[in-house]
Amino acid sequence: MTQGPPADLKLQRTSRDPSTVPGLLEDWLAGALPPGAAPEVTLRSGIDANGMSSETLVFDATWTEDGERRTEEYVARVAPSPDEFPVFQGYALQDQYDAIRIVGGRTEVPVPTVGLVEPTGEVLGTPFFLMGRIEGVVPPDVPPYNWGDNWLADATPEQQRRLQDNTVRAIAGLHAIHDAADTFAFLDRSGHPGATPLERNLAWVRSWYDWSVPDLGRSPIAERTLAWLEAHLPDTSAADTVLCWGDSRIGNVLYRDFAPVGVLDWEMAAIGPREMDLSWMVFAHMVFESITAVFEMPGMPHFMREDDVKATYEELTGVRLGDLTWYHLYNAVQWCIVFMRTGARQIHFGEIERPEDIETLFHHKPLMERLLAEAGA
């Protein structure tokens, strides 16, 4: 019998002392708000059940305005410190801020209201921006929602399908933004070679992988897949270029009544073909199902099935998606890199020993091997 899953998979993201945060934010807000505001900050718990990249601080701020005290709830999206093994090469917080702002202004897709930006890093050590806090629940990553004993796994199949379809609807809303290539030109991977957005995105992933190698070494399966991707790049010359949320999975959404009320986490936002987002959404569930199978758990095989997601998207948009195999393998490499980076961070914080084989960190390796075999790679 396979040993059951570990009870605690939480990942440490920072060595920050949380007791220092309220005072630092109060001093900053005192300078950002009108004189006499006298801000007070109460730090709530961070959102530590989901996400692997940025630090998220949840707090209440109280200040004087027009002679009365008012309180608002905020979330601070904080870039990680470069010396604490960040997941990404860079954190363009202004780009994330602008993407959320534009989406909020041009669509019905629910995104947080963005507020003040601190771009210098002088307050918390790294830059951050504020968002209005949204009440909702998130399908947990730690442990994954498909392991059971959580609100989504315990829901009826009809409720689960409603969540799935509503999330596809949100992605369709993002893809409907007119003239995305110009509107979101700041999200193009223009610093990377390639004649199309997809080529530049692939070059960005290759660069991200190369940047990650020195900490833990090379991955044969990631490099084999990258070579296959470069040799089999889809022809997207006739495809629409849309705003791709990037990290388009249900673990980055706040829900109420199985409908999105907050689309979060925009570090991976880019422009490219529609399939990038739809594959990421499906592939993320495939990864969790693959991990669940290792522990001989039932999982949720009826949920986020590729054919169902594609059919819903086509019904909503009138656009037929192409084959997703290339995009699944493209995303598989990105998951490899995420596991490389989070593994390096776990070693840094003493949570795990340095592995002899880097690929033991890749929880989705069996899935990746199957996809490669099916693709004839």
Catalogue the active-site residues.
247
Q: Do the beta carbons of residue 288 and residue 301 sit within 8 Å? A: no
Q: Do the beta carbons of residue 313 and residue 322 sit within 8 Å? A: no
Distance (Å, whole) CA 174 – CA 162: 19
Assign 367 to helix, strand or coil: helix
Cα angle for residues 295, 299, 302 (degrees, 5° grid): 150
Q: Residue 242 phi/psi, 5° resolution?
A: -125, 170
Chain center to CA of 24:
27
Residues recorded for the chain: 377
Distance (Å, whole) CA 248 – CA 270: 11
Q: Given CA atoms 270, 276, 282, 286 in this order, what sign does their dihedral have?
A: negative
Distance (Å, whole) CA 99 – CA 355: 38
Number of C-beta neighbours around residue 315 at 10 A: 12
Cα angle for residues 260, 168, 88 (degrees, 5° grid): 80
* Helix H or strand E segment including 289: helix 275-294
- Which residues neighbour 275 within 8 Å (Cβ) at sequence distance 6 or greater? 321, 322, 324, 327
For residue 75, the cross-strand partners are 58, 131
Q: Do the beta carbons of residue 97 and residue 108 sit within 8 Å? A: no
For residue 77, the cross-strand partners are 56, 129
